[in-house]
Every structure is written in structure tokens, then in C-alpha cells.
């Protein structure tokens, strides 16, 4: 079973800066993610969300392929591809995969303007090695679906946030 972990960053680019490190951790088999999402809250309060899985694009590609194949039957492959792409994009956009979109947006509204958050749907992790690699980014733990005991262990493994001074 996967666990949800939400990390906060004091800058808008903080969550984006961590993404290449997450890819590297996954390649090294130290972390396995089912999904991730990044939220950045601009100074004016606007929320920008980026997700690992673009269901609209995947739906459009699949729909275009199937539309073209069906269009070949009726001797209109181009029209079939266009129609299938539109239908696929709409159905993909309406599909929610992984982390709940409403939860992402709701928590995004709660973070400080000028900051960011990273939502991780973690299947497995080598916690000590992952935290060692993420510590230079100074994450703070915002939310988890872990048990209280597991959350306390994770908080203890996190480095203290540096104080400006």
C-alpha cells in the first residue's frame, strides 16, 4: 500500500528543484513513487499545479490512435483521428489518477505565498538514504498518511530547517 507524504519548501522553485533528485532516487531503486504532484503558490495567491501523469495528453494520444483505426474502416482516418483525439483528451482530463486533485488544490491554498509543496505517493523508500539526499533542499513535512509512530520517525530523520539570521 502506498503512503502520501507532502513536503513543503520555502521557495516557489523548491519543489521543482527536488524533482531531478527524485528521478535519480527511483533509478537507484531507493524510492518507488506511484505518483507525484507539485504545487507552487505565487505571491499574488495563484496556485500552479504540475502532475507526473498528464491524463488529458495520454487520453488524446490513445483516442487519436483508436479514432484513426476506426476511421480507416469508414475510409476517413484523419477525421477519425481528430474526433478520437478530442474525445480521448476530454475523457482523460476528467479522469483522476493517483493523488486527489481536490486535495492538492485545497492544500495548495493553505501554503504560504511564494512557497511550494511536493505531494509524493510513495510505494516504497529507503528512508534514511532518501532523506540524506533530500536534506540539502530543506523540506518540511506538511502532511502524511503514515501512522503517528512512522510520521514521528520520519520527522526525526529530517534535518532541521535553517533559521535565517
Residues 46 and 81 in one domain: no
In a domain, 15, yes or no: yes
User: 141 falls in which pLDDT band (50, 70, 90)?
Assistant: confident
Range of the domain at 63: 55-94
Burial class (CB in 10 A: 0-12, 13-18, 19+), 118: buried
Residues 70 and 21 in one domain: no
Residues 102 and 88 in one domain: no
Residues 107 and 85 in one domain: no
Instruction: Please give the model's pTM, rounded to 2 decimal places.
Output: 0.68
What pLDDT is recorded for position 143?
Answer: 82
Measured distance CA(38)–CA(99) in Å, rounded: 11
User: 56 falls in which pLDDT band (50, 70, 90)?
Assistant: very low
Q: What is the mean pLDDT of the chain?
A: 77
Cα–Cα distances in angstroms (integers) from residue 78 to residues 8, 56, 74, in the given order: 46, 20, 11
Q: What is the mean pLDDT of residues 95-124?
A: 83
Of residues 116 and 72, more confidently modeled: 116
Residues 32 and 112 in one domain: yes
In a domain, 109, yes or no: yes
Residues 36 and 60 in one domain: no
Q: Which of 70-84, 94-108, 150-164 has the lowest mean pLDDT?
A: 70-84
β-sheet bridge partners, residue 117 = 8, 39
User: 10 falls in which pLDDT band (50, 70, 90)?
Assistant: very high
Measured distance CA(41)–CA(142) in Å, rounded: 15
Residues 103 and 47 in one domain: yes
Domain tally, the chain:
2
Residues 113 and 77 in one domain: no
What pLDDT is recorded for position 116?
Answer: 94
What pLDDT is recorded for position 146?
Answer: 72
User: 73 falls in which pLDDT band (50, 70, 90)?
Assistant: low
What pLDDT is recorded for position 66?
Answer: 57
In a domain, 84, yes or no: yes
* Top-confidence range, 4-18, 53-67, 88-102, 149-163: 4-18
Q: What is the mean pLDDT of residues 154-163?
A: 66
Residues 42 and 66 in one domain: no
Q: Which of 94, 120, 146 is the last residue of a domain?
A: 94
Strands 31-41 and 140-144: unpaired
Amino acid at each position: 500500500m502506498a503512503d502520501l507524504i507532502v513536503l513543503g519548501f520555502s521557495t516557489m522553485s523548491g519543489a521543482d528543484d527536488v524533482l531531478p533528485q527524485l528521478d535519480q532516487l527511483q533509478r537507484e531503486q531507493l524510492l518507488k513513487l506511484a505518483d507525484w504532484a507539485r504545487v507552487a503558490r505565487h505571491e499574488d495567491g495563484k496556485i500552479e499545479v504540475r502532475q507526473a501523469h498528464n491524463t488529458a495528453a495520454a487520453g488524446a494520444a490513445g483516442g487519436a490512435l483508436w479514432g484513426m483505426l476506426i476511421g480507416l474502416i469508414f475510409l476517413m482516418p484523419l477525421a477519425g483521428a481528430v474526433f478520437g483525439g478530442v474525445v480521448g483528451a476530454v475523457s482523460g482530463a476528467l479522469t483522476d489518477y493517483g493523488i486527489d486533485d481536490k486535495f492538492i488544490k485545497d492544500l495548495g491554498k493553505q501554503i504560504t505565498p511564494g512557497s511550494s509543496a511536493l505531494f509524493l505517493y510513495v510505494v516504497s523508500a529507503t528512508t534514511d538514504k532518501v532523506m540524506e539526499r533530500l536534506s540539502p533542499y530543506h523540506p518540511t513535512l506538511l502532511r502524511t498518511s503514515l501512522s503517528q509512530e512512522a510520521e514521528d520517525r520520519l520527522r526525526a530523520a529530517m534535518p532541521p530547517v535553517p533559521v535565517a539570521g
